Amino acid sequence: MLWRKFSGEPLKTSIKNAVEETIVRETTAGYKLKVCIGTDSQVKHGETEFATVIVFLREKRGGFMFISTETTIQPNSIKERMLVEVSHSIEIAYELCDLFNEYNVDMEVHADINTNPQFKSNEALREAMGYILGMGYAFKAKPDAFASSCCADKMVN
């Protein structure tokens, strides 16, 4: 996966190194960090574009994010697409969780899945929640899942 900053500037190192450098820089500057990881997708002209974000929140001091996008042509039902989004988020959370533990940084995985049963994405809620919680990660769904439903959403719209 290729990662970039919100400005579009590509990261010059692996995502793991970039995240560690960021944690060290921000905590040295006195910030308490929390990280939220989320993915959103958009289907356009038979292609599905996925955006995964790593959002760094500085307690009471704003935040910033790293972004990775990917496009596939594989057609998915809404439920399958929601679960693919979650798998993208879990994949990066798993890659980085040792760093978060080492530096005592709280991390949440956000799923762009509505908790209201009237919405189609709700079909994937139980499986997504089980997947995320089963991996041992904190879980948020809409309306609390801003990393996926706001931050990642802006990267695919």
Whole-angstrom Cα distance, residue 43 to residue 35?
27
Place of tokens 């929640």: 129
pLDDT digits (tens, 9 = 90+) for 60-117: 899 999 999 999 987 778 889 999 999 999 999 999 999 999 999 999 999 999 888 8
Contact of 87 with 48, CB cutoff 8 Å: no
pLDDT digits (tens, 9 = 90+) for 115-145: 888 888 888 899 999 999 999 999 999 989 9
pLDDT digits (tens, 9 = 90+) for 85-98: 999 999 999 999 99
For residue 51, give the nearest of 37, 40, 35, 42 by alpha carbon: 40
Sheet holding 106-114, edge to edge: 4-5, 63-72, 47-58, 33-44, 106-114, 138-142
Q: Where are the domains of the chain?
A: 4-156
Architecture of domain 4-156: 2-Layer Sandwich (3.30)
Whole-angstrom Cα distance, residue 24 to residue 56?
12
